[in-house]
Structure formats: structure tokens, C-alpha cells
Amino acid sequence: MSIADTADALTERRIKEIHTLVLMSDAVNRGIYRNVPVMIRGALHTPPQPYLVAPQMEALLAEYEDMKRERHTIEAVAEFHLRFEGIHPFVDGNGRIGRLIINLELIKAGFLPVNIKYTDRRQYYDCFDSYYGNGHKPDAFAELIAEYEKKELERYIEIVEGKNNLTREREA
């Protein structure tokens, strides 16, 4: 059984486990929240001081459970990601961890994983500016995730239709 097979709530422990795997070669920082202040270059938002990381992550995880009950999965995942990245809980690897969490949560909810492409990074970063500069509305990022999800579904349909065509050709 994998972590994506379970309906378990996303937890601090799970996030730190994922971080440990991603930062395997960084024995000092892997799996622990940062203890130094950080800045995100070019961002409209400044991450909280280190002593606020743990309580803000705890609050985010509790609120995320409510978001999942009250909103569409994609909207909840989008807001979680924007807030997670705003907290910037780790010294390194926050973006990678955040994008892995997006896919973990999408898969757990029955959606396909999405690949936020490097070529779309400007649009991705604009979503953060929209969120932090526009009253904390995750709409732009939810739309981006939904568009990626739609493209993945279309790709899967093409694959299935292609296989069906091959099967029919073989049977003819």
C-alpha cells in the first residue's frame, strides 16, 4: 500500500517524511522546519519568522481538512499549496515538496497527477502574486491546476482511444 492509497489526512509527519526523501543528501536540514529567516526573491509575501513556522503549519493542516470538506479538491489543493509556499517551512526544497503534495492530494482524491512545467513558471509565480496581492484568493492557481488536470485527462483519453483502435484493427 502506498501513501496515495489512503484517505489519511495530510500531516506534519507525512510532509517531513516527504521532505526527508527529497533532501536525502542533506542530512542537516532534511525533515526539519527551518530555524533561520528566509526571503523569497521577487515575492509579494515574506515568509514568517522561524518560531512561527510550526504553529502556522499546524493551523494550515487543520484548516486544510475543512477546506477539503467545503470546497472542490482542486480549490483546496490550490489554496493549501499557496499557503504552504508562503510559510516556506524548510530551508530548501519547498517548491518540490509543495508540488509533490499537490499530486499526492490529487491522486488521493481520484485525480491524475499534474506536471507544472518549467516553461510555465512565470504563470505559476503569477499565481502567488495574485494570491498574496489580491485578498488571498486561490482562483488563478486553481484554474492553472484544473487546466493541467484537463490536459492530463485528454492525454489519457487519447492513449485509451489509441489502444482501442489497435485492438479493433487486430480483430478485423
Measured CA to CA, the distance from residue 23 to residue 35 in angstroms comes to 16
In whole angstroms, give the CA distance from residue 12 to residue 58: 7
Alpha-carbon distance of 140 to 169, in angstroms, equals 43
Please say if 136 is a catalytic residue.
no
Q: Where are the beta strands (DSSP E) in the chain?
A: none
Q: Which of 45, 72, 88, 136 does the annotation list as catalytic?
A: 88
For residue 166 the three cell numbers come to 489497435
User: Which residues are known to be catalytic?
Assistant: 88
